[in-house]
Structure 1
């Protein structure tokens, strides 16, 4: 081969290798499979809207269909089966088991679950599995293993069996035996550990995922929060919380929220990790229009699609007619996504006769400024407003309002 042709061949090989390496470097990670929990115990017309608007986001639905409690017994959730049949997506029937198995009629639960899933399939639903959500005490995992083993024997072979797993189980020698009874599992990384830690801590969640992946030999997904809750108190039995439904307990709950940016940062970190057996994410929960503690669907979409999550706040001053210098103050989320309420809002004004805060804020008055300080966190959906307080001042300083997220 002539020297010139050899040089051209070597150049072509070098360019091919360079382009291949560049393509490899620019290649995006495979799309993450996203599923959604439908956890409302009362179905409303809002479900139809939420399901229709989320079809392109979630491949599979996980529907709360039954709940067992030692005092309340067995309860089937009145799910809108025709609506789910029309939706047509694959789905799991989720059964929530509260309390210890020793207090529940395990045999009856298994029989009712099999009967219910067959009824759902007969109604035209594409049920592919049953998921058991049971917060078993770590010491009782062997009992849970036996329950799952018996349930697996009763289920049709065409159905998968899944479970929700708790991070507290990770150090237990009984966990591998429990996981062997299920076809897959869902690691729940959101919970009330303490009022200070809130519902979700990204570094802790990432550590749990890595530890769990070393234990399980089966496919698993991670359940992530897209909601907040009200903390009513913490006692020896754990946290008493209020989420999608009111507990009708006296007193004002402390609101615990999860900022969308927290979860978005966690997902970015997760995408850089090689996690064996991890198959995707399940979001808790399907947002309805009147579910004030759940993220809006627009926000959930923005997190999933890795869109910017920039917050934008506006303080609106509403003068009261025939009340010289009296203003009602409103904090408005002017951004594209839900966001936690700002930590502090300062209004520059002079000759103020009186002022007060409202809702989630307390007031610190000064000679030339009124400072509203957050005392109870909460999430405010995009486009929504909330009372901040009021003030009676002779003059508001133009451009003198400062919002600290």
Structure 2
């Protein structure tokens, strides 16, 4: 009887184990490269991103209403040397009244031919078109035509909008392509913010119930500024300044919020979710993008930390005073910083801060907003003193 019981228990355990969901494979991590004009800053950015991101989705061609076609001026030598799989992204503005299928397909074929002539071998094409729901059936027809005329070896994917979840045409559109990229940032009124992690998760779950093919989530690693027109409608400013003479409201995707969503997706991925695609590759000097250090840390799932310290460089009693971010998380400039000093006969603050001197203390107070990238430093002032206590500082965020 004991033997039979043990056999029954073992059999039940096997059955229960067979019903458990197998561990999900790691989520793939990819990058968008969205600059229309490549610069020398792309070389170090590509090199530093190589370990953490498997593939590059590169803006290749754009079509705007009234402005025609605009090619991105890529650096083919850099991309060839990089060696990662390439997906050419074709941006067809959502304000285009209609898609001339033959012209669009001819333009796509030409850019692919030119890339191949430059030694590049893209593995796929992604169409980025913000079609309204009423035009989704026509968009699906265009995608079917494109699929027939592209080489079978090229994978076809699309950037997709959460609003399409309400369209009965969506399943047929998704059946036309090999994968989709669900954009969950900057898809609502910008005055409501760039990104809502809870809403993004809900959209991903709904998308997984509609598609039968792999899909990715496009996640934000950037910020924008909102400028107000006389009409009251917001104008979005990215890296290129727009001079409207109006106030700017800065919006930035919070790395900790996005990291929370990414952790949730790793732990419990929706069905068919293949990976995350980050918008966009940051370059040195970008004002409104996460640093590559922060982006890579979020993509890997590392713990995020800020660690602001004061760095002093002394020469003949003159101290240059700088802030250093030793963490892996970009940080706002601190509101206030105090330093213990002695015997000062000359002090000053640099742009962005004012300085107040009291006996034994220097107080730097922020007068405008700014960010200090992970691993970066910024000079905030100087002082000619007989003594500055390297450890006697306090940073007030």
Into which bin does the TM-score normalised by the smaller protein fall?
A: 0.7 to 0.9
Q: Does 1:383 align with 2:375?
A: yes
Distance 1:49 1:270, change over 3 A: same
Partner of 2:343: none
Q: Does 1:121 align with 2:116?
A: yes
Q: Does 1:200 align with 2:195?
A: yes
Partner of 1:249: 243
Distance 1:371 1:89, change over 3 A: closer
**TM-score of the superposed pair, with normalisation by structure 1:** 0.77
Partner of 2:288: 293
Deviates more, 1:381-390 or 1:161-170: 381-390
Following superposition, the deviation at residue 333 of structure 1 comes to 2.3
Alignment gaps of 5+ in structure 1: 350-354
Partner of 1:311: 306
What is the alpha-carbon distance in structure 2 between the residues aligned to residue 57 and residue 397 of structure 1? 40
Partner of 1:65: 60
Distance 1:256 1:216, change over 3 A: same
Distance 1:208 1:401, change over 3 A: farther
SS at match of 1:170: helix
What is the alpha-carbon distance in structure 1 between the residues aligned to residue 367 and residue 172 of structure 2? 47
Q: Contact 2:36–2:71 at 8 Å: present in 1 too?
A: no
Deviates more, 1:188-197 or 1:286-295: 188-197
Please list the CA deviations of residues 318-351 of structure 1 after superposition, one character each: whole Å capped at 9, or x if unmatched.
99x999xxx998654232x2324157436599xx
Q: Contact 1:342–1:403 at 8 Å: present in 2 too?
A: no
Following superposition, the deviation at residue 63 of structure 1 comes to 0.7
Q: Contact 1:95–1:132 at 8 Å: present in 2 too?
A: yes
Partner of 2:236: 240
**TM-score of the superposed pair, with normalisation by structure 2:** 0.78
Partner of 2:345: none
1:319-334 equivalence runs, <5 A: 331-334=323-326
Partner of 1:180: 175
Distance 1:178 1:375, change over 3 A: farther
CA RMSD of aligned residues (A): 4.2
What is the alpha-carbon distance in structure 1 between the residues aligned to residue 268 and residue 184 of structure 2? 17
Please list the CA deviations of residues 43-62 of structure 1 after superposition, one character each: whole Å capped at 9, or x if unmatched.
12232222223222222111
From 16, 31, 39, the equivalent of 1:36 is: 31
1:83-102 equivalence runs, <5 A: 83-102=78-97
What is the alpha-carbon distance in structure 1 between the residues aligned to residue 79 and residue 350 of structure 2? 45
Please list the CA deviations of residues 225-255 of structure 1 after superposition, one character each: whole Å capped at 9, or x if unmatched.
1222232347676642313xx1442446332
Q: Contact 1:192–1:239 at 8 Å: present in 2 too?
A: no
Partner of 1:271: 266
